[in-house]
Amino acid sequence: VPLAESLDLSRRHVEQTPVRDDAADALAARADGAAKLRWSPDSARSAEASVLALDERQRWRDGTLYGFADNRQWSGRATAAWRRGAHRLAPTVSASVFDHRSRSSVAPQPIAGDTGQRQLQRVYQAELLYNGRVAGAALDVGTQVRRDETETARVPGGLRAFTAVEPFAQVELAPAPGLALVPGVRVTHSSQWGTHVTPRVALRQRVGAGLTLRASAGEGFRAPDFKELYMRFVNQGAGYAVNGNPDLRPETSRNVTAGAEWAGTRAWARGQLYWNRFTDFIETRPVGAPGAPPVYEYGNVDDGTTRGVDVEGGVALAGVRLEASYAGLATRDDATGQALLARPAHSARATVAGTLPLAVRASVTGLFTGRTPMERDAATGAVTSWRDAFVRTDLRLARTLPGADAVELIVGADNLFDRRPAQWAGYTARHVYTALSWALTRTPTR
């Protein structure tokens, strides 16, 4: 029977808790595993099943107390496909359960018998997709059903759940040689926020060898997630709280993009211009009383626009791969006439990768994030706090161990030169790591 299996196992231990700057007595330990099984008896039929499980433990110092977070997750996914001529049908089902527990203690270990605060989230999803050709046109039609359930003492009644159904369709037409016209539509119906229709149309024109021009226009829709609707988060160490808002409205937008991409034998390049107009943008806003510890709440606080340019490219020469990208962004908040918060106007990335002696694969990546507005005066709208620009250099070395093709040793450093800009939340200092990766894979045989 033609089968393919894969198994990945990993174990990580870091003396640092994610998103926290203080490394004293901190740790994050995680073990996870993933397995996949694929069955393909012939070109017309296939089936695939996969599972993922993880167990994570975190500890940090919060004044005189220790904080603890225990996270466990498992997820499973099964999909199949049947093909007959120009028609293909593919159903997919998946389920995920995430169990989070937080505790505190005066000792480096949790108090025996302390159950802490628990949050259990379950997500179930099913999708049915049809691809085919009808009257010379390529047709994609499908529907997706999603069920979210969360149990926690942080929401009234202890349980919140909602269901969303999203049918969608798009057709690819060829009105002229090299030209593709792709209209599409998605309808979102949710028990929480009703029904919304988002149409879209795209054009693609192939011009000569390797050059493609693209353009699209459409509408966007983003519904509030669970934490924005219901959660109440209290950070006792930092002295603030964030409340959910069950009256939130979905974000909506209109967008236009135009771009080009070119691919040669050793080099490639891609560029895009875009413009977005959004309504009811969701952001946190202060709602606490003057002089009291700060309390924030999610709200539909912004209408505005974003526009920008994205360019990227790469080249491979003499065994060395060079890649670079740049993003320029301009934003406007209609309420204040100022730029949106937490969005840098400039960012860039560059990578050099190649093979060193002794079959060591090496890569050096530089990342630049420009100066970013973070807070504004509630009365005037003027920006009162900025996050400094940040240049970070990452280094990664990897080598497959001799005589063990499935085992790889990895050594690396993030923020190699230990840059520490002001106003950056969490841990920004140099992070040195090692990893040993082992993969068990068997390819199909007939």
- Output DSSP code: residue 116: -
Instruction: For residue 237, name the pLDDT band (cuts at 50, 70, 90).
Output: very low
- For 166-223, the pLDDT digits (tens) are 999 999 999 998 999 999 999 999 887 788 999 999 999 999 889 999 999 999 888 8
Strand-pairing partners, residue 99, are 72, 120
- For 400-433, the pLDDT digits (tens) are 988 777 788 999 999 999 998 876 755 677 888 8
- For 30-61, the pLDDT digits (tens) are 899 999 999 999 989 999 999 999 999 988 88
Alpha carbons 127 and 116: distance in angstroms, whole number = 36
Lowest mean pLDDT: which of 66-70, 293-297, 342-346, 404-408? 293-297
Instruction: Look up residue 287 and give its amino acid.
Output: V
Whether 273 shows a pLDDT value over 70: the answer reads: yes
**What angle (nearest 5°) sits at the alpha carbon of residue 71, between those of residues 24 and 410?**
65
Instruction: Look up residue 284 and give its amino acid.
Output: T
| Mean pLDDT, the chain, integer | 87
Strand-pairing partners, residue 274, are 257, 308
**What angle (nearest 5°) sits at the alpha carbon of residue 344, between those of residues 343 and 349?**
125
Tokens representing 274? 């875009």
- For 305-354, the pLDDT digits (tens) are 999 999 999 999 988 999 999 999 999 988 788 888 778 999 999 999 99
- For 138-175, the pLDDT digits (tens) are 999 999 999 988 888 766 778 888 899 999 999 999 99
pTM of structure:
0.75
**Considering only CA atoms, which of 174, 184, 178, 245 is closest in space to residue 210?**
178
Report the SS3 class of residue 229: helix
**What angle (nearest 5°) sits at the alpha carbon of residue 185, between those of residues 178 and 133?**
50
